[in-house]
């Protein structure tokens, strides 16, 4: 199952082993089916984001903040449920999209109020990166080779380890300011993370394609869409942070 390993923690070869590829029968995963699910999840994210965005714009920031916390915590819990029980992804993946939308809408509106236009720019950059990486993958210019997978997996692991250390240090009252500053080092770190997140899209595309080739169960279309959505949300947040940093330097 090494052929479908992904550095995205929610999209690993073991997921297909648990799904029981050989017994999938006639109702199997397809690339088009996964694309349809991705489109639906994007609509759910946008709809939920518009809801909390309008709360902030309507001077109801307190309630929007509460919804953002519910979305962030709830999204994390639902993501864990989806990872450990992919059979439920047809239900949990849409719920995850709605919860993350609540979170993204609130933080986007708050940041956009301080730096007008950055949220829209972050959306455009995320969409542009998605289609650029899809083109590079489909054209064969970037291939998910074993060496590529190992490199992206190591880089992704390093990023999440840095996130963890930064969070722990903040709890101890010793924040790692350089990781969140608008200085050259903070921007450089942000750019490196964006590149790593973008490369994870290649892994996600490969995961979905290999799953369809292997005849994974139909519900894995939802799981594949969920995994790709995790990467897209991560990418959008990093673009939002980068644009806010650039705007804060003006």
Q: Whole-angstrom Cα distance, residue 45 to residue 140?
A: 30
Residue 30 backbone zone (phi > 0: left; psi -120 to 50: alpha; other: beta): beta
Q: What is the DSSP letter of 179?
A: G
For 11-29, write each residue's pLDDT tens digit: 555 565 555 554 444 589 9
For 109-143, write each residue's pLDDT tens digit: 999 999 999 999 999 999 999 999 999 999 999 99
Count CA atoms within 13 Å of residue 27 on its CB side. 6
Q: Whole-angstrom Cα distance, residue 153 to residue 147?
A: 10
Return the H-helix or E-strand segment holding 201: helix 184-214
Q: Whole-angstrom Cα distance, residue 7 to residue 178?
A: 26
| Stretch 191-197: mean pLDDT | 96
What is the per-residue pLDDT for 24?
43
User: What are residue 165's DSSP bridge partners?
Assistant: none
Q: Count other Cβ atoms within 10 Å, centred on residue 44.
A: 20
Q: Whole-angstrom Cα distance, residue 157 to residue 5?
A: 14
What is the per-residue pLDDT for 10?
63
Residue 55 backbone zone (phi > 0: left; psi -120 to 50: alpha; other: beta): alpha
Residue 156's contacts (CB-CB under 8 Å, 6 or more residues apart) are 7, 8, 9, 196, 200
| Phi, psi (rounded to 5 degrees) for 181 | -85, 165
> Does the structure show a pLDDT above 60 at 106?
yes
What is the per-residue pLDDT for 22?
45
């Amino acid at each position: 199952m090494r052929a479908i390993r992904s550095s995205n923690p929610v999209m690993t070869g073991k997921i297909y082993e648990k799904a029981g590829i050989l017994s999938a029968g006639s109702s199997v995963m397809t690339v088009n089916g996964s694309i349809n699910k991705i489109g639906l999840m994007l609509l759910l994210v946008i709809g939920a984001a518009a809801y909390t965005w309008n709360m902030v714009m309507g001077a109801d920031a307190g309630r929007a903040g509460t919804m953002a916390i519910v979305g962030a915590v709830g999204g994390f819990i639902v993501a864990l449920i989806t990872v450990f029980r992919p059979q439920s992804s047809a239900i949990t993946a849409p719920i995850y999209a709605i919860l993350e939308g609540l979170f993204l809408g609130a933080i986007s509106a708050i940041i956009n109020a301080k730096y007008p236009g950055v949220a829209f720019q972050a959306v455009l950059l995320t969409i542009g990166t998605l289609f650029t990486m899809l083109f590079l993958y489909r054209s064969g210019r970037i291939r998910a080779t074993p060496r590529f997978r190992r490199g992206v997996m190591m880089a992704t692991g390093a990023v999440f380890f840095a996130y963890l250390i930064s969070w722990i240090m903040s709890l101890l009252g010793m924040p790692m300011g350089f990781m969140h500053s608008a200085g050259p080092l903070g921007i450089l770190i942000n750019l490196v993370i964006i590149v790593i997140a973008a490369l994870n899209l290649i892994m996600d595309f490969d995961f979905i394609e290999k799953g369809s080739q292997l005849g994974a169960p139909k519900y894995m279309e939802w799981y594949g869409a969920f995994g790709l959505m995790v990467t897209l949300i991560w990418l959008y947040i990093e673009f939002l942070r980068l644009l806010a940093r650039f705007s804060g330097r003006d």
